[in-house]
Every structure is written in structure tokens, then in C-alpha cells.
Amino acid sequence: MTAQSVCAVIVTYNPQPTFIDNIVAVAAQVGHVVLVDNGSSGETQRHLQELETRLGCKVIRNHQNLGIAAALNLGVNHAIRAGFDWVAAFDQDSCVSDGFISQMLETYQRAAHPEKVAIIAPTCVDRESRIRIRMLRSSNGKVLLAMTSGSMMPLSAIRDVGGFDESLFMDYVDVEFCLRVRQRGMLILQSPAVLFHALGRTTFHNFLGLAFGVTNHSAGRRYYITRNRLLLLRRYAADWPWTWRESRSMLFDAAKIVLMEDNKWQKCRAMAMGTTDALRGKVGKQIEL
């Protein structure tokens, strides 16, 4: 098992030009790179053409934003057809450290039960603040969730549990996959391999002695986060180590929006719409972003 058996899947949507450096860094460590573009503008298309020529990447061009789950599935299916053993998923804003893929594979090789491993997650560090992003764990230390970017998955595990849930469109796609993996008795491991990840518009605050981050997501994102969070709380209600932590986080997020974020009314209205659609079981793309 070598880095050449790994296919990187990178989803793009109107990225900053600096995304080129991120892709070049990944390409140097894997056997192949698939770029799945979700309907970006002409400038991005020019950059993708350049990467296709320069690095020999496979570029899958969607003519509209199909959502993160659909884009990931397109990349994964390409990796399966091409005969790779592993897929490593990345956001356009994430950057790998030196030796990243090798360290991820070493974590898998050292696992007590490698046949049960479905996800190898990196150690994520915010690119701006250099703050380490903590992973959600159960009381006994088991990893409960891993974000998609930087995660490596054996394609045999994806065949067993199925691909990413396209009905969610975006937000909580990685959460649902992790919950499904653990429901099947499979494992999520964390590697010391460092991924530098952009936290978007996250700002950090101190209120009454409590330090915390605020994501400042748009109203549209708040719709999808609320809807999908509630859908998954109902679908995976039996996963108590996750559900009680997620329910608490939902309350904290609402408080942070009211206390710290701009456009409070628009975001609260979007969250109310998301709640209504979750109760109705309304899924898929509902709001343009």
C-alpha cells in the first residue's frame, strides 16, 4: 500500500486563485487528482484547464452547483473506475503538510483492526490563527466525527456503506457519512498528519470569560445547517454520544448568532425555514447560495 494507490478528490466552487498551490501540493503526494467543479465562473475554468494540462488532473465540470455530496460521489466513482484503493477528499481551501499522505497511511497500518477502519482523519489546524481544531469524541475517546476535507477512506469501505447523501445538498454531508460508518460498527481514526484548513469567516470572541469561535455563515448556509442537523438528529437519534452533543451545540450556535453575528433577522428566518422543511422531510437544493 503506497501513496500511488491514493486518488485525491478536490471539489471547487469559485475558489481564490491560491487554490492552485493547494492542488499542486496534494498532487505531489498521491497517484492521481480528480477536480470536481460545481459550476464555477470563467476565470476558475481557465485555472482548471491549466491544472489539467500541467498536472494531468482529471477535471469533471458540472454546469451548476450540484452540492458537495454529489460532487464527492462523482470523484469517488471516478477513483473506483480507475482502480484506486483509497480516496482522499479535500476542500479547495485546504493545504496538506509535507508527508501528509504517507503519515495518513502509516496511521492505517498501525491500526489494531485495519479491516474495520472506514475513515482516517487528519489533525486540522486553522491556516490563519494556527488554532488546532478539536475533533468530537465520545467519553471513552473514540472519534465521533471527521470533516470531509483531508479525510482518507478505503474505497472498499465506501462500497460497503454507500456514497455521500446527495439529498442533503451541502452541510452535514460529512456528519451523516460518519454517523452511518459508526452505525455499521466501523472506525474513524485520527492521524498526526497536519492539514491546514481555512475556517472561512470564523472570528474568535471572549464573553464573560468564555472563549469561543463564531462561524458567521450566511443565511443560506444557516438554512441548510439547521435543516440537515434536525434531519440527522431524527434519523440517528439512537446515536446518543453524538445526539446530546449536537443538541447542545445547536443551542450554543443560536445564542452566538443572536449575541455576536450580523444579519441576525435574516439568519433566524432561514433557520425557521430550515426547521419547517426538516419537519416536512423536504430535502435537496432549496436555496441558492
Gyration radius of the chain's alpha carbons? 19
Spatial strand order in the sheet of 117-126: 58-62, 32-38, 6-12, 86-91, 152-154, 117-126, 187-197, 95-96
> Which cell goes with 279?
419537519
The answer to whether the pTM exceeds 0.75 is yes
Query: What pLDDT, on a 0 to 100 scale, did the predictor assign at position 23?
Result: 96
pLDDT of residue 200: 64
What are the mean pLDDT values of the chain's consecutive 10-residue runs (289 residues total)?
Answer: 94 91 96 96 90 94 94 98 98 95 97 96 89 90 95 97 97 97 97 88 70 82 97 97 94 88 93 97 92
Q: How far apart are CA 88 and CA 105, in angstroms?
A: 11
C-alpha cell at 262: 450580523
φ/ψ region of 113 (left if φ > 0, alpha if ψ in -120 to 50, else beta) reads beta
pLDDT of residue 21: 95
Q: Three-state SS for 3?
A: helix
| pLDDT computed for residue 235 by the predictor | 97
DSSP conformation class of 267: H
Amino acid at 154: P
Domains in the chain, start-ordered, CATH in brackets?
A: 3-197 (3.90.550.10), 203-280 (no CATH)
Q: How far apart are CA 141 and CA 177, in angstroms?
A: 19
Spatial contact of 178 and 114, defined as CB atoms under 8 Å apart = no
Q: Tell me what pLDDT residue 17 has.
A: 86
DSSP string, 145-210: ---STT-EEEHHHHHHH-S--GGG-SSSHHHHHHHHHHHTT-EEEEEEEEEEE--TT-EEEEETTE
Contact 99, 28 (CB under 8 A): no
- What is the reported pLDDT for 194? 97
Cell numbers for 83, please give them. Answer: 482502480
* CA angle centred on 195, ends 209 and 90, rounded to 5°: 115
Q: What's the rounded Cα separation, in Å, for the pair 38 and 55?
A: 20
- Residue whose entry in the numeric block shows the C-alpha cell 479535500: 90
DSSP string, 83-146: T-SEEEEEETT-EEPTTHHHHHHHHHHT-S-GGGEEEEEEEEEETTT-PBPPPPB-TTS-B---
All cell numbers assigned to 226? 439547521
Q: Distance (Å, rounded) from C-alpha 113 to C-alpha 153?
A: 15
